[in-house]
Amino acid sequence: MTQTVDQHGQILWDFLSEESELKPASCIIVMGSIDTRTAERAAQCMLSGLAPVVVFSGNCGRNTEGLFQQTEAELFAEKAVSLGVDPSQVLIEPKATNTGENVKFAMALLAEKGIAVDSVILVHKNFATKRAYATFKQHFDGIEVMVTGPSLTYQTYPNAIISRELFLHTLVGDMQRMKLYPELGHQMALEIPSNAWQSYLALRDLGYTEQIVN
């Protein structure tokens, strides 16, 4: 059973994970989550000189409510600063509770600060990068978008905070959203390969349903 679950999980990971060839951008937007390794990846990007400003966005979401003592944005920003990011380059957007709000609220904050954006690097969990891209393009189609996540694989992603079970439930939930959210106008539609959808259905039918939208 485990082998079958992992085979399906790997297929979902491969489809949902996107990694752009990065080049300098107007800004970096970091989407909060349970995974603080995203903040480490954002720090790497900033310290490499890929953008003059970084926005950390997130209040709490479906996996972090009650888990952190701060908002996701505040926690991630502190992590990045501890790794050497200049605090003067950091903006905090502490209200977003989902990917759509991450995009809209972060862009509104940048506009409020008078920062023009014609290209952006989105930093998120590996398997949320494709959905982040599709969400951003739904709302700001004229802006060049690049996406990146931590240097992790399907096998190395689970850790002491993110169990294998939570990881699999979240993969399945994100896959459902790739099909559902374009129908609701939340993100741009992207083609879903049949093998990825069949793996979603298989894992759903095996009970990985805790993160599914009802």
Average pLDDT score over the chain: 95
What is the rounded distance in angstroms from the CA atom of residue 32 to the CA atom of residue 204? 25
Residue extent(s) of CATH 3.40.50.620 domains in the chain: 18-148
Out of 3.40.50.620, 3.40.630.30, 3.40.50.300, 3.30.1490.190, the CATH code matching 18-148 is 3.40.50.620
Q: What is the mean pLDDT of residues 92-97?
A: 96
In one-letter notation, the amino acid at residue 148 is T
Q: What is the mean pLDDT of residues 150-177?
A: 96
Which sign, positive or negative, has the C-alpha torsion 166, 168, 174, 179?
Answer: negative
Q: What is the pLDDT of residues 96-140, one digit of tens each?
A: 999 999 999 999 999 999 999 999 999 999 999 999 999 999 999
pTM for this prediction: 0.94
Residues 6 or more apart from 61 whose CB is under 8 A from it? 32, 33, 34, 72, 97, 98
Burial of 200 (0-12, 13-18, 19+ CB in 10 A): buried
Q: For 88, which DSSP code? A: G
Other Cβ atoms less than 10 A from the Cβ of 100: the count is: 18
Q: Cite the DSSP H helix spans in the chain.
A: 2-16, 37-47, 72-82, 99-112, 129-139, 164-184, 194-205
For 166-196, give one letter per residue: b (16+ CB within 10 A) or e.
ebbbbbbbbbbbbeebbeeebbbeeeeeeeb
- pLDDT for 65 equals 56
